[in-house]
Structure 1
């Protein structure tokens, strides 16, 4: 993917839910400050991959390396302390806490004096400053997603894992959320985003991985991938002749 050493490397990774194998030898590389998109239909293994990288789901075989150091055996809090934060699918805000209190939860494992704090989060998403005293779950879906992203950024992560951040949101809201991606990258944070919207993924990513049934079926730079190749990898279409 690049000539230099990746910030995050996934090598031949497997994962299971009980006896069910969900990942089969997955490889992924993320450059410092880069953005990788993972696309695929429901059940492709995208969320499983993110949860395994984040330490929420225990890895089977294979490795997850951050700056060359293995982290696949670490529990989720330790992975976070090493600089990998996750924005989970469904946002999972604390309903009893205000917007600002939800954001401050993310600072509990803050790494150093990085760029991200309440003021820079409010600059990134100005509507949250206006709603900072509101209960987190009293906001619109898009605003809740902004809180979830801001909460993850408050730990000043080196890698931000974003799982289905556009799911169920209106196009105008998706546009506003993705407009923040360049500013997040400018801060030095690299991003892995799971996205079912192929067009959106191709717009924001330096590199794209397509998954199906727990395997990577296609990968490459957006400019090198044809729509036909992506479609075939996404849906498992084969043109092999009998």
Structure 2
């Protein structure tokens, strides 16, 4: 049984339909990448799973339980944490206070606490007293990831974590993924960087215009197939 599953997932912003029947599964300990251009529906998919966009019963299941109609804080308490696009740090709080916010709804003990987050991202310990938004973009992203980990999630949703960052910073952030997976967490990562997604994922889904246009394991997908699924096949 899948740990996380969407079935025929649809989503709307008012009268505008953003997702059309999206099916996705995530197994225990697996990393699934969702790739696609701007406007493909990737962030809407993540927001739907996290409860930011409410869904009808039957469209989102976690550990065998219907969660589509639940509130975001209830979903987080079950074990799904999101690293949002744009990081969304609290500007009035220090690095350490931002991290501690992630533990606010923690229900069970687990491997992630301040010490282990600081071990994962040592620069954050050095700057723990500084305002979170005073850090560089890459360091802010580390705070956002650490904040999500502080809830000791079973599923970590990472939305566009490399957006706007330098390649060397992206490399350092993705170097943390094996450590995160070692704790038993499963990961869904949304990426525009196809090469990066293929490196970290067990399976890849490509989206275009709110639909999944290609799915498979990275080694099974040709560059041509990915290009066509990402941009649309040439006429």
TM-score with structure 1 setting the length: 0.95
Aligned to 2:88, which of 92, 96, 101? 92
CA drift at 1:111? 2.8
Matching of residue 28 in structure 1 with residue 19 in structure 2: no
CA drift at 1:225? 0.3
Matching of residue 101 in structure 1 with residue 97 in structure 2: yes
Aligned to 2:190, which of 172, 190, 194? 194
Matching of residue 39 in structure 1 with residue 35 in structure 2: yes
Where 1:108 maps in the other structure, the secondary structure is: coil
Matching of residue 53 in structure 1 with residue 55 in structure 2: no
Corresponding residue for 1:235? 231
Corresponding residue for 1:76? 72
Corresponding residue for 1:175? 171
Which consecutive segments of 4 or more residues in structure 1 shift more than 3 A? Answer: none
CA drift at 1:67? 1.1
Where 2:93 maps in the other structure, the secondary structure is: coil
Give the Cα–Cα distance (whole angstroms) in 1 for the partners of residues 194 and 55 of structure 2: 27
CA RMSD of aligned residues (A): 1.0
Where 1:109 maps in the other structure, the secondary structure is: coil
TM-score with structure 2 setting the length: 0.98
Contact 1:111 1:157 in 2 (8 A): no
Give the Cα–Cα distance (whole angstroms) in 1 for the partners of residues 102 and 224 of structure 2: 41
Q: Which runs of 5+ in 1 are unaligned?
A: none
Aligned to 2:160, which of 135, 160, 164? 164
Corresponding residue for 2:112? 116
CA drift at 1:112? 1.0
Give the Cα–Cα distance (whole angstroms) in 1 for the partners of residues 21 and 45 of structure 2: 11
CA drift at 1:61? 7.2
Give the Cα–Cα distance (whole angstroms) in 2 for the partners of residues 183 and 166 of structure 1: 18
Corresponding residue for 2:61? 65
Give the Cα–Cα distance (whole angstroms) in 1 for the partners of residues 36 and 103 of structure 2: 32
Corresponding residue for 2:139? 143
Give the Cα–Cα distance (whole angstroms) in 1 for the partners of residues 107 and 116 of structure 2: 16
Contact 1:16 1:60 in 2 (8 A): no
Give the Cα–Cα distance (whole angstroms) in 2 for the partners of residues 159 and 61 of structure 1: 20
1:125-162 CA-to-partner distances (Å, cap 9, x unmatched) read 00000000010000000000000000000000000000
